[in-house]
Amino acid sequence: ALAEQGALLALSDLNREGLDDTLAQLPAGARARSYILDVSDREAMFAHAIQVNVDFGTVHLLFNNAGTTLVGTLENQTIEEMQWLVNINLWGVLYGCKAFLPMLLEQGEGCIVNLSSVFGLIGYPTHSAYNITKFGVRGLTESLWSELAGTGVEAICVHPGGINTGFENRSRVAEKVGQRERLMLQLAPGLMQTTPAQCAREILAGIRRGKRRIVTGRHSNLLYWLPRLFPASYPRLIRSLMP
């Protein structure tokens, strides 16, 4: 969507296959460079920011959207499994912000777009570690709203829900699997209904309108309002919707 608007793109992914798939989707004539990057590696992220600055001269839009999930109750997840997820979903976003923020502040203009989730709005069963990371991204971004005031740099928190990217197929399941984990795995495919293209359009539209929070995807508005209308009782409502 950005390439169609003429943007210069610095695209990063953990593996070449993912990068090649993204590059193949770009329209003819798109100007892009690709980089292999593990966002959970602090030194790699800071080196990446330096290289992007060398290649492009600056950055105007930063999308911290690398992420995955871990299906498992807190009882069944190991500390090591949770650390793996936190390193990607939370530390990866923090590293991205820290690595690129100086150049944005120096030029007095830019936008940081951090991908949280609808599970950064509500606590959801079998996703406690994921909730930790996505609530953390939300908290980080909302603190930037105040810290960046008057700098010309904006921060946006995106809460997608049910986007059909194949995300659920790339997630990890706790090694110790119980009934609740199996139930969630059965439910997941039916929840992924919104296309990536639609999600991208809504995110870019929100950026243009100057929105600080963008909620997009299947049932996302419902999950946005549930904890606001029923802050103490919404978990019971969620349980009642599960078979």
Q: How far apart are the first and last CA of the chain?
A: 38
Give the whole-angstrom CA distance, residue 222 versus residue 121: 11
User: Which among 240, 242, 198, 239 has a CA at the least distance from the CA of 218?
Assistant: 198
3-class state of residue 167 by DSSP: helix
CB 71 within 8 A of CB 175: no
Catalytic sites, residue numbers: 130
CB 154 within 8 A of CB 104: no
Widest distance between CA atoms in the chain: 53
User: Which among 63, 98, 67 has a CA at the least distance from the CA of 206?
Assistant: 63
Helix (H) or strand (E) holding 44: helix 42-56
What are the φ/ψ torsions at residue 31 (nearest 5 degrees)? -105, 110
